[in-house]
Amino acid sequence: MQRKLKKIFIMTFIVLATVSCGRNELYRKTIEFDNYKWERLSKDKTHGNSIDFTDINVKDNKDPYDIYITVRHSSLINVGSVKFVMEMTSPNGTTRSSMHTINLKDRSGKKFIGDVAGDLYDVEERVKSFMSFTETGKYTIRIINLAPVYEVIGIIDMTMSIKKSDLDYDLK
């Protein structure tokens, strides 16, 4: 009987934890890279190759949000960090941009960091903290490759998640 109650308690806790975490997430999308490569330049070679996170539907522009990027890569990746420009376009067409670097290795440059599963590594980085959206509606965030090499080889996918900030601050 005690074992059964313990199992029920654990399952209830897991379900509640999962539901409560999901409530604060505004957006989550993963984009996979073909052949585990992300080329530096676009096909027409006029600008950096980019990936787009679209249909980010903001219904509440009063709360602050954090933007996270997770890079999944293999141990064969040919760079120690992923460098990019993040362009955020609002529903009215205004674009804000910022440069970011996500380190994939420790300070020595020898050991990969992040969560490991076999030969794959996940490195999550908060790239924007306590950010407010200027208006409600659909946003697009474009990630433009700024790698110092022609192509990043060994990158599996990139995930963007936008969550309500857990900082205790009132924007009103």
What are 82-127's pLDDT values in tens digits? 999 999 999 999 999 999 999 999 999 899 999 999 999 999 999 9
Specify the pTM.
0.81
Residue listed under structure tokens 């994939």? 104
CA-nearest of 81, 100, 69 to 149 is 81
Identity of the amino acid at 152: V
What is the CB neighbour count within 10 angstroms for residue 167?
9
- Given a contact cutoff of 8 angstroms between Cβ atoms, the answer to whether 69 and 128 are in contact is no
Q: What are phi and psi of 46, to 5 degrees?
A: -95, -15
Does CATH number 3.40.50.620 belong to domain 27-164?
no
Q: Does residue 4 carry a pLDDT above 90?
A: no
Give, as one character, the DSSP assignment of residue 33.
P
Average pLDDT over residues 71-75: 97
Q: What is the mean pLDDT of the chain?
A: 86
Average pLDDT over residues 127-134: 94
Q: Are strands 137-145 and 120-131 parallel, antiparallel or unpaired?
A: unpaired
On the 0-12 / 13-18 / 19+ scale of CB atoms within 10 A, 136 is middle
